[in-house]
Structure 1
Amino acid sequence: MSLLRRPALPSLLLPALAALLALPALAAKRPITHEDLWSFDRLSAPALSPDGRFAAVVVTKPAYDPAEQSADLWLLPVDGRGEPRQLTFSRAAEAGPAFSPDGRLLAYSVQREGDAVPQIYVLDLQQGGEPRRVTSLSTGARQPQFSPDGSRLLFVSSVYPGTKNDADNQRIAAERKARKDNVRIYTGFPIRNWDRWLDDRQQRLFVVPVAGGEALDLLAGSELVKQPGFGGRFSDTGEEIDATWTPDGQSVVFAATVNRHRAAFANVHTDLYRVSASGGEAVRLTGDGTLEAQDSYARPQFSPDGRTLLAQRTPRGEQVYQPTHLQPFDWPAMRPGTTLRLPGERAVNGFGIDADSRTVWLTAEDAGHEKLWRARLGEPEARLAFDMDRGVYTGLQVARRASGVLVANYDSAAEPPEVVRLMPRGGHQPLSAFNRERTAALDLAPAETFWFESERGARIHNLLVKPAGFDPAKRYPLFVLIHGGPHIMWRDSFFVRWNYHLIAGTDRVVLLTNYTGSTGFGAAFAQGIQGDPFEGPAKEINQAADVAIERHAFIDGTRQCAGGASYGGHLANWLQGTTTRYRCLVSHAGLVNLESQWGTSDIIFSREQNNGGPVWERGPVWTAQNPMLKAANFRTPVLVTIGEQDFRVPLNNVLEYWSLLQRQQVESRLLVFPDENHWILKGENSRTFYRELEAWLDRWEAAP
């Protein structure tokens, strides 16, 4: 019996269930299409009311034409006894919903008609009616949080350095717009992040009365924001400052860095700070105040009783990959408590503190899943709350005034995301069914798991996805799909970018291997790739294909292709120079030259750490494991793709590969997407990519 139990369906799902039962009993399920994939509703992480009664979620309805896409707020009863209720009805995309302490108000960010940039709006859930705009900053507003007494909102805005108020920002913006030149000028590193050039704007914290009024920049004029390395936390979508109100509502605790300007030659870290809710100089709470690399702190959160401050802590060490732990502090003394870790030094992804102020709930990756863990404050290691054999839990939220009420997103390779209530004793209860009816018509077999022992003695985890209409008597070609990172893992999850079932179609088996360097198997396993970026992982990928072919008679070992994106593209390029076992390859955003990748990417210092020293020393990794230096062996036909706005793996890396392929007269096809970044995110571009991928694989799998 599955450990992921499905309890009795709540009433909100009964209409959907009745519709499913009304379908013809013998109706054949069909393969997924790109149109299916693209049209599934996409759900934000839920926000949970303090009393645990309701969850708010942003539901995006995608469209190939961006002008036809919409995103709206929905309210879900957590007890499952009522119907989900749509709260907003505009094409403007709401984001970052947050409940007031009494659960009556919902704040969120949106750019409504008449707004030049997103602003904070507040909706009264009891009285209904139109939402009320609370902010009017020219620089916009996002990530609202109510103060403990519900009278004020904390939020984030990106402002120009040296500004004291919005008039300053408007003046500087007008001056820059009036300039006749167009030039970016830098004096340090970094200068880019993922798909955007960095400018001098800073992330700042603001407070505004919920009733309306002037927003106060808490850090304006402070010495902290004058430091050259000041900033927030970079992500693949931009930059944020993690912040939270103190229990008395008199201050704000936040995470920031002051040594980002050293990123070219040192590790960057973030510390916790406290600033008065009336503004002023911030007080550092962690670290020694020097610019030298130290442990990093992020996502601070207080216990409901206000006596404990918890934050994610990432230790600094010689290894580039470091697992994230949970660090409690006595508040307000800031005495550190027992660090909470996960078995095998797995990394903490999400966490929340129960209403009892003692129980901590966490999510963390484990062997292809993201599972729920629990611990008591003072314990050194969390334990698994319950096991699961399908899917992942993400976006965990814990009720602050109702013990044991937890909500999250759930999805699996065969199930698009929905919102669920996690049951502390095991399993989950569905709270939404946005995608369920459409999914029921599709032939989406669950991903299967197998393990093997690598040649160097490591246990290697794999997922296997069978095609729609699978017939065990047939023999199918194998596509070996390689994940990026490298410090991520293939998950039993529903991807839009690399959808396992869309790639499998009706005529191929997809193999997904979590090679050394993958997360979810302990810190030592993730760190094992340092100093061996390609050779060891590639051997494990090839061995995984051998094992899959040996164990499954339905796989035709004479018809193999392989490919991946980002680090997976790097490994595909390494395979190009080290084996001819694959009939074809696919390389998206893949480096071919370690040296030029180091010099042009938006991050550089961790690359030299991974490779054993600076590039100019040309240590053994820089030369022995550089795919470009294997170009004499390039033989395998390859589909090469890249987004022109990718600054993590810049276009020049792919152009170098293309030049080598052309010089070696290797049959190949190049796709450059001018308006895409590291991923292919636009609907029509995505459809073209999948169409090209399918045609490429079909061609070479069918070759004699």
Structure 2
Amino acid sequence: MNRVSILTVLLLMGASAMGQRAPEKNIEKSVLTSKINNYLNKRVMSSEDLWKLGRVSAEGLSADGSILIYGVSNYSFEENKSEKNLYTIPTQGGIGKEFTNESGGESVVEITSDNDVIYLYKGQIWKKNLSGTSPVQLTDVEGGLSNVKLSPDKKHIIYSKQVLINKNHSKDKYVDLTKSNVYIYDNLDYRHWDSENDGRFNHPFVASYENGKIGEAIDLLEGQPFYSPTAPFGGSEDFTWAPDSKSVLYVCKKKYGNDYATSTNTDIYQYNLQTKVTSNLTDGMLGYDNHPIYNTAGNRLAWMSMKTDGYEADKNDIIVVDAVSGAKLNLTGHWDETVNSFTWSKDGKRIYFVAPTKGTVQLFVVDVPTNLNIRSLPVIQQLSNGQFDVSGIVGETKGGLVVTSTKMTQATEIYLFNLKTKLLSPITTVNDAKYAQFEETKVEGRFTKASDGEDLFSWVIYPPDFDPKKKYPTLLFCQGGPQSATTQGYSFRWNFQLMASQGYIVILPNRRGMPGWGTKWNKDISKDWGGQPIRDYLSAIDDLKKESYVDNDRIGAIGASYGGYSVFMLAGVHDGRFKSFISHCGLFNMESWYGTTEELFFANYDLGGPYWDKTNNKTFQDFNPIKHIDKWNTPILIFQGGKDYRVPVGQGQEAFQVAQLKGIKSRFVYLPEENHWVLSGHNAQVWQREFFGWLKETL
């Protein structure tokens, strides 16, 4: 039913209500009038609206689980920055109350049994009780603290800070040349993500702690060129205290230089405060091992683990070990999916986790056996189901779990998941009033037969007031990763609600390489980048093109990272299907990319190895976009970040130069201060305007 039809029904209902004189009918009339006004005042979402949404973060639960602490970041266009404050709200329902309002972002460290909220603010530890007392600054440490974790007995602290290990920067190596700016390297890992390696490494420090006073600190990696938390995205989750406060765990990849750049082997180390001895708890486990969490009793430790060194998108499993006997069990090794994150139940008898499945991310549970040496396989149960993502678990409370959740049409909010009814109930509603202003965009699932006969699932988002009798321009979205899931997540840049609101149908195929459809489906993209995954994209768009409402003369392909690679690849093999392309930070020349990217373990595993190894000819010849430029003839917009070291700037420059010299309508949008993403609000607005401006020009 379209907008006019719905409005007609509402008006007819209103006419009926107006004919009644009873008071309750007058109330119905008032409510109906309000609904009609709201409906008439709805408008399509704009890119400015997107940045006016509050960004919600779950910060923690009170000891009894009755109060949620959450953060909301609001962006200021005038100042081009965000301001984050903390709020409290009952988990069983209520109204959020402001907890902090100082200028600058606060983040919760922990909430004590006395309901004291310990939080970081401007690098120092503060305390404020949930009852509303005045905040108290506890520490005054020069240079500030980061990634703080207090021991359970509150007598010790672990935190991180940078330590100069290697004099890679000229100002450190030649102290008399203070105006120089030169980097000197003897090995790889000379830059990572968006930063040069100046020889400084994040190290974990342990110290005594009493009423905000920090004693003499011990560097747990003293003199060693290793990172903990892990670079570039590790945080306080890389640290955890044993419940008896006698030892602390930290995650580290103890590799350096070339070995660091070609390996994913992180391990979990335990430092004993009394003996000062460090032991490797995951020795012999060769992939990523991280996110260690003890159960409340402290007799079991669980962590996330991948098996294969160098395979950064390997199946993620939950490992549990008995702290006394040392017995170890892979809880999810028999399960044909991969885990995103997990938490223990309060009683320590089960583990709740979230994982991608069938185009969404859902909540699961697995019982932890009393005997970890059992041969029977633990039963895994899916708890939630619906057209939404459960993106994270905050904790357990009366009646259920507090979780974060998104949809393609709704940014993160926090919910209570009822373990009996299996339903989500909103706790926070930060953006409800803003979303109520926007015309709705319908999201549906769709199955297509892929070229090899497999079932291929896609999400399809339709414009507001979609009318199947009309024809619409259509966008094929190509996901990055390449092994990232296309689910019901919400992006503040690649926002499909925003795209649909501008009048486009958007299709998002769950092509080969995406988790949620079995480990084989997820793994099949490795060493086949330009093969079946690209054919999956073509199958999805060819199927959608059969619908009468798709304007086959106005179809575009868009994407970032591997999605940008897909756009470059499609530009050479699409056979006239597309009228416009947009690639953001895409891989264009696989040889030069291999020679300049920083995480070589990724390139070695997914591409098969270096381009000079002739066994990899298929990757660097058949699946290399630059080898197909003879067929390029379609307008293309190229975005590129200047500080993107994952897909360095030359990739976008090479592609743009090819398009220009071939006389193809093309545009290069260079963001010198951005990395693989776009983080500045003003830059993001430029990105959106160029994105939609290009589509108007070319579709």
- TM-score normalised by the chain length of structure 1: 0.87
Q: Equivalent residue of 2:37, what SS? A: coil
CA deviation map 1:96-153 (0-9, x unaligned):
44212x0521122221xxxxxx222222333610232325142x31233332234444
Quick one: structure 1 residues 141 and 22, their matched pair in 2 at CA, closer, same or farther if it must change by over 3 Å? Answer: farther
Counterpart Cα distance in 1 of 2:271 and 2:621: 49
Q: In 1, Cα distance between the equivalents of 2:387 and 2:548?
A: 25
Stretches of structure 1 that go unaligned for 5 or more consecutive residues are 1-17, 112-117, 164-171
Distance (Å, rounded) in 2 between the aligned partners of 1:215 and 1:473: 72
Query: For the structure 1 residues 450 and 239, does the alpha-carbon distance in structure 2 shift closer, same or farther, using more than 3 Å as the test?
Result: same
Q: Counterpart of 2:21?
A: none
Structure 2 CA distance for aligned equivalents of residues 681 and 24 of structure 1? 37
Match among 229, 242, 255 for residue 259 of structure 1 = 255
Given that 1:373 and 1:382 are in contact with CA atoms closer than 8 Å, whether structure 2 keeps it comes out as: no
Contact kept? 1:217, 1:279, Cα under 8 Å: no
SS at match of 2:356: strand
CA deviation after TM superposition for structure 1 residue 588, in Å = 0.8
- SS of 2:544's equivalent in the other structure is helix
1:337-364 per-position Cα deviation (integer Å, ceiling 9, x unaligned): 34334732x2211111111111110001
The 1:375/1:103 distance shift into structure 2, 3 A limit, reads farther
User: Hey, what does 2:97 align to over in structure 1?
Assistant: 85
Q: Are the equivalent residues in 2 in contact too, given 1:45–1:395 (CA < 8 A)?
A: no
Matched with 1:156 is 160
Pair 1:185 & 2:184 matched: yes
Offset, 1:68? 5.8
Please tell me whether residue 99 in structure 1 is matched to residue 97 in structure 2. Answer: no
Task: Note closer, same or farther for the CA distance 1:127–1:154 as it changes in structure 2 (3 Å cut).
Answer: farther
**Separation in 2, partners of 1:89, 1:177:** 45
Match status 1:443 vs 2:439: yes
- What is the identity, as a one-letter code, of the residue corresponding to 2:641? G
What amino acid is aligned across from residue 534 of structure 2 in structure 1?
A
Match of 2:89 among 73, 76, 83: 76
The answer to whether the 8 Å contact 1:123/1:132 transfers is: no
| 3-state DSSP of counterpart to 1:537 | helix
What pairs with 1:44-63 in structure 2 (closer than 5 Å)?
44-63=57-76
Indicate the SS of the match to 1:600.
Answer: coil
**C-alpha deviation, 1:62, in angstroms:** 1.1
In structure 2, which of residues 382, 386, 393 is the aligned counterpart of residue 385 of structure 1? 382
8 A Cα contact 2:80 2:680, kept in partner: no
Residues 239, 304 of structure 1: alpha-carbon distance in 2 compared, 3 angstrom cutoff: closer
The equivalent residue for 1:30 is: 43
Task: Tell me: CA distance 1:626–1:152, structure 2 relative to 1, closer, same or farther (3 Å).
Answer: same
Paired with 1:158 and 1:370, the residues of 2 have a C-alpha distance of 36
**Distance in 1 of aligned mates of 2:216 and 2:454:** 55
Whole-angstrom CA distance in 1 between matches of 2:126 and 2:177: 31
2:548 equivalent to 1:553: yes
The equivalent of 1:698 in structure 2 is 696
| TM norm structure 2 | 0.88
| Greater Cα offset, 488-497 or 140-149 | 140-149
Gaps of 5+ in 2: 1-30, 370-375
Cα deviation, 1:222-248, whole Å, max 9, x if unaligned, reads: 5x544445544234x466671111011
Note if contact 1:363-1:371 (Cα within 8 Å) is conserved in structure 2: yes
Counterpart of 2:128, as a letter, is L
1:193 and 1:370 map into 2 onto residues whose CA distance is 29
Task: Show the counterpart of 2:8.
Answer: none
Tell me if the contact between 1:30 and 1:468 (Cα under 8 Å) persists in the aligned partners.
no
Is the Cα–Cα contact under 8 Å of residues 364 and 384 in structure 2 kept in the other structure? no
Find out whether 1:355 has 2:352 as its counterpart: no
1:41–1:61 CA contact under 8 A, matched in 2: yes
Counterpart Cα distance in 1 of 2:312 and 2:54 = 36
More divergent stretch after superposition (677-686 vs 474-483): 677-686
Partner of 1:126: 131
Q: Structure 1 residues 183, 333: CA separation in 2 closer, same or farther (over 3 Å shift)? A: farther
The CA distance in 1 between the partners of 2:32 and 2:147, in whole Å, is 38
> Given that residues 353 and 360 in structure 1 are in contact (C-alpha distance below 8 angstroms), is that contact kept between their aligned partners in structure 2?
yes
Higher RCO by CA contacts (8 Å cutoff, separation 6 or greater): 1
> Shift of residue 680 of structure 1?
1.8
Would the aligned equivalents of 2:125 and 2:212 in 1 still touch at CA under 8 Å?
no
> For residues 457 and 354 of structure 2, what CA distance do their matches in structure 1 show?
20
Q: Deviations over 1:406-460 (max 9, x none)?
A: 2121110112221111212312121111100111111132421111221113322
Distance in 1 separating the partners of 2:320 and 2:119? 29
**Identical columns (%):** 24
Q: Match for 1:325: what amino acid?
A: D
In 2: Cα distance, 1:174 partner to 1:129 partner = 47
| Matching of residue 491 in structure 1 with residue 491 in structure 2 | no
- Give the whole-Å Cα distance in 2 for the aligned partners of 1:97 and 1:19: 47
**Which residues of 2 match residues 136-215 of structure 1 at below 5 A?**
136-138=141-143, 140-161=144-165, 179-199=178-198, 200-215=200-215
Alignment of 1:544 onto 2:556:
no
Match of 2:636 in 1: 638
Post-superposition offset of 1:558: 2.6
Paired with 1:20 and 1:107, the residues of 2 have a C-alpha distance of 48
Aligned to 2:503: 507
Distance in 2 (CA, whole Å) between partners of 1:266 and 1:349 is 23
1:161-180 per-residue CA deviation (whole Å, 9 max, x = no partner) reads 499xxxxxxxx999979834
For residue 91 of structure 1, what is the amino acid of its counterpart?
Answer: S
1:298, distance to aligned residue in structure 2 (A):
0.5
